[in-house]
Amino acid sequence: GENVEQHPSTLSVQEGDSAVIKCTYSDSASNYFPWYKQELGKRPQLIIDIRSNVGEKKDQRIAVTLNKTAKHFSLHITETQPEDSAVYFCALTSSGTYKYIFGTGTRLKVLA
């Protein structure tokens, strides 16, 4: 079945620095790639998503890039703040299946 590899598993950055999380997939039929943020003890919540016909999408301090040829997509957070500390999950799905497969998560710590 479809598999998503997410790296790194943990990431520590200084406040104000940038953070990048990368996910790699194998099924070329995948065409929707959301990212979720999960704070401690809370449910995952969507923060940004990208469709397969788009290479990059930005929303204030966060952006997602997609390289369909290499089959990877990345989350970029600029000017990190302590409230960005959480676990981030990448996910993907494809038309017709509606099955969402998740990466194993990245624990981001922003050090003040």
Partner 1 sequence: NAGVTQTPKFQVLKTGQSMTLQCAQDMNHEYMSWYRQDPGMGLRLIHYSVGAGITDQGEVPNGYNVSRSTTEDFPLRLLSAAPSQTSVYFCASSSRQGVYSPLHFGNGTRLTVT
Q: Which residues bind partner 1 (CB under 8 A)?
A: 1, 6, 9, 31-32, 34, 36, 42-46, 49, 51, 89, 91, 93-96, 98-105
* Least Å from the CB of residue 32 to partner 1: 5
* Least Å from the CB of residue 49 to partner 1: 6
Q: What are phi and psi of 6, to 5 degrees?
A: -120, 135
- Of 83 and 96, which has the nearer Cβ to partner 1? 96
* Least Å from the CB of residue 15 to partner 1: 26
- Of 61 and 99, which has the nearer Cβ to partner 1? 99
Q: Which residues of 59-76 are buried (b: 16+ CB within 10 A; e: fewer)?
A: eeebbbbbeeeeebbbbb
- Of 40 and 112, which has the nearer Cβ to partner 1? 40
